[in-house]
Amino acid sequence: MTAFPASIGRRRELGYGAAGIALVTAVWFILTYPFFVEVTEHRTYVSTGEMHTVRDPVTGEILKIERPYYSNVREVRRSALVNPPALDTPENTLRDAWELLTTRGPNPNLLEHIAYSCLRILLGFVISCSIAIPLGVAMGLFPRLRATIAPVVSFLRPLPSISWVPLAMIWLGAGELQKLAIVFMGSFSAALIYTLEATLKVDPNLIRAALNLGVGPQDLLIRVLLPAALPNILSGLKVVIAIAWTCVISAEIVGTQVGLGSLIWTSKETSNTAAVLVGMTCISSVVLLLDALFERLERRLVPWMFVGAQKEDA
């Protein structure tokens, strides 16, 4: 029987991933390709410049009017299953991405949108984790502290990031501090809960064994508790950084002209689905890059979790 969790190796995993992306692209191409042809004909008036005289039947006055001429016009329309502005074609999306990337002028280009969003996310993420991780570990160790703070966390946890936008604008205005605060508030409670749960799930037998060997409180925390909780903490932080993206998008739709959230929102106003898709693709690409960096960090901090995977990859 195959061991669980089953693995297919790194190269095959990348191959299947590429096949999945190619399949989605093919479906997108099929949906937007103009397979259907619609031909319509209608009569349209064409000016000839030729004048002729007619007598008004009421007044008897002689009038000069242009001789009428009508021509049949044939129009050919090509349409797809899904047409703009509902969904633009892959070619137009790539063209818009290149224009956003190479634009010069008063409007920010695509790299500036990505840089501002990433900077806001990383600052808010680092600040929230630097507070949430030590507090979560302390809550796991001290039940009284956990009982005191848990109601506040339970109140903050269900609030979506968009709900903080009005208060942040009232308190901090529409500057960078407001966006940083929204990312912080949206990420903090999630990082705290993941850290608390990881601490509480540490095997009690490890703690008892360390105490029986005479390990002191400081060594117990550093050498036993944190290494045992770290894999689950890092897994939770992957989710937290994705939550931080939703927070920054909510923050950037108000009071800013730079950032991927602003790019997506302004493109929505002009029904530019190609630019919206470019912004969404950039968000997913950055998150995938951060996931890869997190995996490398995990391999350094908790290498014992990847021993089996390294053998299978080899």
Task: Please indicate, yes or no, if residue 142 is contained in any of the structural domains.
Answer: yes
Residue 141 pLDDT > 50: yes
Q: What share of the chain is helix, strand, coil (3-state, %, to 5)?
A: 70, 10, 20
Q: By mean pLDDT, which of 99-108, 180-189, 231-240, 260-269 is the weakest? A: 99-108
Q: What is the pLDDT of residue 135?
A: 93
Mean of the pLDDT values across residues 279-293? 87
Residue 56 resides in a domain: no
Q: Which of 34-48, 122-136, 256-270, 273-287 has the highest mean pLDDT?
A: 122-136
Q: What is the mean pLDDT of residues 27-40?
A: 82
Compute the mean pLDDT over every residue in the chain, rounded to the nearest whole number: 81
Look at residue 215 and tell me whether its pLDDT is greater than 80.
Answer: no
Torsions phi, psi of 43, nearest 5?
A: -90, 135
pLDDT, residue 195, reads 92
pLDDT at 127: 93
Q: State the average pLDDT over residues 122-135.
A: 92
Give the best-scoring range by mean pLDDT among 115-119, 155-159, 160-164.
115-119
Contact 131/153 with Cβ under 8 angstroms? no
pTM attached to this predicted model: 0.74
CATH number at residue 212: 1.10.3720.10
pLDDT score for 132: 93
Evaluate if residue 282 carries a pLDDT over 70: yes
Percent pLDDT > 70 in the chain is 87
Does residue 277 form part of some domain? yes
Which of 43-52, 167-176, 195-204, 263-272 has the weakest average pLDDT? 43-52
Q: What is the pLDDT of residue 193?
A: 92
What pLDDT digit, counting tens, does each position of 38-90 carry? 777 766 766 666 676 767 676 767 777 666 666 666 777 778 888 877 788 88
* Distance separating alpha carbons of residues 81 and 35, to the nearest angstrom: 8
Give me the pLDDT at residue 36, please.
Answer: 80
Question: Structurally, how many domains does the chain consist of?
Answer: 1
- Could you say which DSSP state residue 216 is in? -
Here the tokens at position 268 are: 């929505």
**Residue 82 domain flag:** no
In a domain, 41, yes or no: no
Asked if residue 14 belongs to a domain, the reply is no
Task: Report whether pLDDT(226) > 70.
Answer: yes
Torsion of CA 288, 289, 294, 299, to 10 degrees: 100
- For 121, 161, 243, the CA distances from 165, given in Å and listed in that order, are 16, 7, 15
Q: Is residue 58 part of a domain?
A: no
Domain that holds residue 114: 90-313
pLDDT of residue 1: 44
DSSP letters spanning 301-312: H-GGGGHHHHHH
Q: In angstroms, rounded to a whole number, what is the distance separating the alpha carbons of residues 287 and 241?
A: 8
Is 17 part of any domain?
Answer: no
Q: Is 58 helix (H, G, I), strand (E, B) or coil?
A: coil
Pick 163 or 64 by higher pLDDT: 163
